Amino acid sequence: MEDKTVLEARSIYKSFKDPVKIDVLKNVSFSLQRGDYASIIGRSGSGKSTLLYILSTMDTDFTGELLIDGVNLSQKSEKELAVLRNEKIGFVFQFHYLLNEFSVLKNVMLPGFKLDKISEEELESNAYKYLKALGIEKLALKKANQLSGGEKQRVAIARAMINDPLIIMCDEPTGNLDSKNADIVFNIFKELTETYNKTLLVVTHDLIFAEKTGRVIELDDGKIVRV
């Protein structure tokens, strides 16, 4: 398979100035290839969330360079970044942020409306494709607030897939899950890298989970100590 760099961080530094200046990220450089399954680990306060926020293009206040799919984001406007984010990156957050009053199907389809690239019928059929791949197509017409935590997590993963992103970023995928559901999520991500050639980047406290991913990026006090 073609070895293609989909994300590259070059010498990223980040400081917060309030109330006193602290240097949170120091010279962080690494790259991810297509199909990589990578996790970011590190002690509390080591800078994991700060880094994920930068890599997801949501925080642009840093020094260094970030390239997504070969495009350097340094000079991009907020509007250009928003388009790139929708096209290239899928997000799975710890608290899912599903819309409770909407059906599972609608929740999964929602990010697709933003891109406006395909018809609603096609979007719906893609949503069913991912719900099926995740083993939850039977839940399609249920409301999001009728689901268990593990089911919600899978809906959030299907939603992250809907725009066929290159990279899926995930904050604490197993934070609220028991070990059985954590295993299911681990295997789903593995399947996404292997079958769909997606790149998975996961921030986690769960060292057992992390050690099973193909690559571990360890932060200590804002510096990479292991890739």
Ligand X SMILES: Nc1ncnc2c1ncn2[C@@H]1O[C@H](COP(=O)(O)OP(=O)(O)OP(=O)(O)O)[C@@H](O)[C@H]1O
Residues in touch with ligand X (CB under 6 A): 16, 18, 24, 42, 44-50
Shortest spacing between CB 22 and ligand X, in angstroms:
6
CB of 20 to ligand X, least distance (A): 9
Nearer to ligand X, 93 or 102 (CB): 93
Residue found under tokens 């250009």: 80
| CB of 12 or CB of 188, closer to ligand X | 12
* 9 or 133: CB nearest ligand X: 9
Minimal distance in Å, beta carbon 218 to ligand X? Answer: 11
Q: Which residue lies nearer to ligand X by CB, 15 or 103?
A: 15
Instruction: Look at residues 116, 121, 154 and name the one whose alpha carbon lies nearest to residue 137.
Output: 154
For 69, the 3-state DSSP assignment is coil
CA distances from 86 to 28, 92, 179, 212 (A): 25, 13, 31, 28
Strands 5-16 and 63-68: antiparallel
Nearest distance in Å: CB 189, ligand X = 20
Q: Are strands 63-68 and 215-220 parallel, antiparallel or unpaired?
A: unpaired
